[in-house]
Amino acid sequence: MALTADRNTPRREGALFKDPLAAAALIFAGALYSLDGSGNAVKSTSGGTAVRGVAQGRADQAGGDTHVEGMRGVFCFENGTAGAAVSRADIGAIAYVVDDQTVGKTGTAVAGVIVDFDELGVWVDVGAHSISVTIEEAG
């Protein structure tokens, strides 16, 4: 039903979130993580789903943790190898998950958008907004 009066709409920045852990999940601080088909957090893998965020602390379901705190933004990750290796020429392209700390320029699980490449590694804008903008621009 449409509003008929003012509404106090809750707001948050959207860069921080808290997701429930999948059964037996172990996600390390600083790791890329994704959501499984039930919406529970699992470590990101090359054959998994798009990255949800970067874990802000270690979360171990077996250790009693029930949630992982995640963040989206620009983070630096390890570079893939061989044909998946990212270079400066790939800035602006989509980064794909190699594992929970490594990205490459090929794959199926989207990590985010490559925003820089330097001696530290591959800088990726992780989060749904950066991915959807890139997909819209490409389409």
Q: What is the mean pLDDT of each run of 10 residues along the chain (139 residues)?
A: 91 85 96 95 93 96 93 96 96 95 94 95 82 54
pLDDT at 136: 58
The domain tally of the chain equals 2
Give me the domain span that covers residue 89. 73-138
Is residue 53 domain-resident?
yes
Residues 61 and 80 grouped into a single domain: no
pTM: 0.85
Label residue 73 left, alpha or beta by phi (over 0 means left) and psi (-120 to 50 means alpha): left
Helix (H) / strand (E) element for 70: namely: strand 67-71
pLDDT at 138: 55
